[in-house]
């Protein structure tokens, strides 16, 4: 057992509501996947042995999952609101990454009965911050000169919304998704990884900071940290937003994944004796849906005395030319190899 991870970091329930949490264990083939669940305050929220959380009364509690093998843990914070409120609040972004001195928009929405109303200019809204690293006004948020982590809390008609903010000396330049085109089977789940590249040329996983949306939640749902949950066949566009940057992924859900062809990268190899080279495989489902192939495949080498291949790693043994063939679900691709 190396790790356990919950599908959310924070979530909100009304009293009486329930929500199931999903714990993902690594490695996926671990022999003992037994976990236990615990609530830091069962008066606020209870959790049963399946991970189902039941909201009891207003307040906050931390739900912790622990593996029996190795004692690995992860946790999520639940905020319980009274049922009397008929609406909830949303911000234009669920979290912000700002460079020191940077200013950007912060819109507040009231969501009630399926309608989303911009209430940013409403005089009933007030704001507070935990560490005073940012200032907030009507429709804007501005970072100060000191880097660090802060929380902006929006107050409106008895409801609250917490918006995490990271203030950094570096500016977010670009966002990159791990799978711009993804293919899933019904019921399959997959974690998208969102990487931010900053002005200091460093990269960081910002999946938990972004705002995620699906164009069709009947086809595929996306959680607050970028985990995809496939429901029914079709296509949808997943959008991730952070600090004014937007990136999208095209997702196709199929009853059964059957590729039109498989593609090896690199397409050919030139090696010196003793060199090693990894071959990465993709399954091509058409219309640019090229998905990383991680399932077990069949490898065949025309001249095994020249190279060997195991789990995609090629080892050059002696000079010569040969061909590697890879097969999966009746499809195959060939990789010419020259060893010098």
Averaged pLDDT for residues 147-151: 94
What is the band of 237 on the pLDDT scale with cuts at 50, 70, 90? Answer: very high
Query: What six digits make up the tokens of 114?
Result: 């399926």
Helix (H) or strand (E) holding 52: strand 52-55
- Are 149 and 124 in contact by the 8 Å Cβ rule? The answer is no
Residue 20 has which token pair?
């199931």
Q: pTM of the predicted model, to two decimals? A: 0.64
Q: Over range 50-66, report the average pLDDT.
A: 92
* Span of 109-113, 173-177, 232-236 with lowest mean pLDDT: 109-113
CB 230 within 8 A of CB 253: yes
Q: What's residue 318's pLDDT?
A: 96
The predicted structure's pLDDT at residue 1: 57
Give pLDDT tens digits for 287-324.
888 888 887 899 999 999 999 998 899 999 999 999 99
Q: Do the bridges between strand 10-14 and strand 73-81 make them parallel or antiparallel, or are there none, so unpaired?
A: parallel
Rg (CA), the chain: 24
CA 256 to chain centre: 23
């Amino acid at each position: 057992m190396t790790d356990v991870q919950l599908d959310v970091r924070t979530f909100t329930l009304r009293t009486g509501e329930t929500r199931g949490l999903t714990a993902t264990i690594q490695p996926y083939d671990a022999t003992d996947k037994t976990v236990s669940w615990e609530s830091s305050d069962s008066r606020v929220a209870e959790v049963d042995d399946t991970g189902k959380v039941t909201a009891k009364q207003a307040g906050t509690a931390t739900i912790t999952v622990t593996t029996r093998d190795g004692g690995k843990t992860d946790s999520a914070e639940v905020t319980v609101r009274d049922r009397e409120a008929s609406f909830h609040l949303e911000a234009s972004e669920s979290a912000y990454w700002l460079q020191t001195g940077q200013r950007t928009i912060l819109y507040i929405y009231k969501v009630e009965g399926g309608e989303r109303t911009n209430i940013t200019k409403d005089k009933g809204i007030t704001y507070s911050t935990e560490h005073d690293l940012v200032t907030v006004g009507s429709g804007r948020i501005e970072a100060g000169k000191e880097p660090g982590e802060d929380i902006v809390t929006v107050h409106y008609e008895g409801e609250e919304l917490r918006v995490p903010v990271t203030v950094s000396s570096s500016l977010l330049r670009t966002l990159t998704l791990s799978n711009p085109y993804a293919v899933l089977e019904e019921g399959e789940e997959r974690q998208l990884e969102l990487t931010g590249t900053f002005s200091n040329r460093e990269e960081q996983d910002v999946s938990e900071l972004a705002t995620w949306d699906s164009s069709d939640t009947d086809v595929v749902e996306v959680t607050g940290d970028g985990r995809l949950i496939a429901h029914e066949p079709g296509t949808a566009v997943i959008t991730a937003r952070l600090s004014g940057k937007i990136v999208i992924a095209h997702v196709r859900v199929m009853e059964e994944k059957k590729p039109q062809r498989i593609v090896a990268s690199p397409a050919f190899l030139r090696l010196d004796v003793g060199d090693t080279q990894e071959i990465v495989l993709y399954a091509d489902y058409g219309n640019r849906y090229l998905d990383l192939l991680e399932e077990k495949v069949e490898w065949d080498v025309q001249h095994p005395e020249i190279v060997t291949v195991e789990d995609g790693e090629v080892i050059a043994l002696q000079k010569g030319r040969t061909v590697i063939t890879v097969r999966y679900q009746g499809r195959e691709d060939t990789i010419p190899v020259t060893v010098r």
